[in-house]
Amino acid sequence: MSAETPIRFGILGCADIARKVSRAITLAPNATLFAVASRSVDKATRFAKANNFPPNARIYDSYDAVYIPLPTSLHIQWAVLAAQKKKHILLEKPVALNVAEFDKIVEACESSGVQLMDGTMWMHHPRTAKMWEFLSDANRFGQLTSINTCFTLAADADFLKNDIRIKPDLDAHGALGDAGWYCIRAILWANNYELPKTVVALRGPILNEAGVILSCGASLHWEDGKVGTFHCSFLSSLTMDIAAIGTKGTLHVSGFVIPHQEKEASFTVASETGFDDLVTSWVPPPSDHIVTTDLPQEALMVTKFSRLVGTVKNGSAPEKKWPNLSRKTQLVIDTVKASIEKGFEPIPVEY
Active site residues: 93
Residue 310, amino acid: G
Please state the separation of Cα 24 from the chain's center in Å: 16
- How far is residue 297 from each of residues 28, 119, 140, 257, measured CA to CA in Å? 10, 11, 27, 10
Q: Which residues of 259-278 are buried (b: 16+ CB within 10 A; e: fewer)?
A: beeeeebbbebbbeeeeeee
Contacts of 297 (CB under 8 A, 6+ apart): 121, 122, 124, 125, 259
| Burial of residue 227, with CB atoms counted within 10 A of its CB: 0-12 exposed, 13-18 middle, 19 or more buried | middle
- How far is residue 168 from each of residues 80, 142, 157, 204, measured CA to CA in Å? 22, 43, 17, 20
Radius of gyration of the chain (CA): 21
Query: CA–CA separation, 153 vs 113, rounded Å?
Result: 38
Query: CA–CA separation, 341 vs 343, rounded Å?
Result: 6
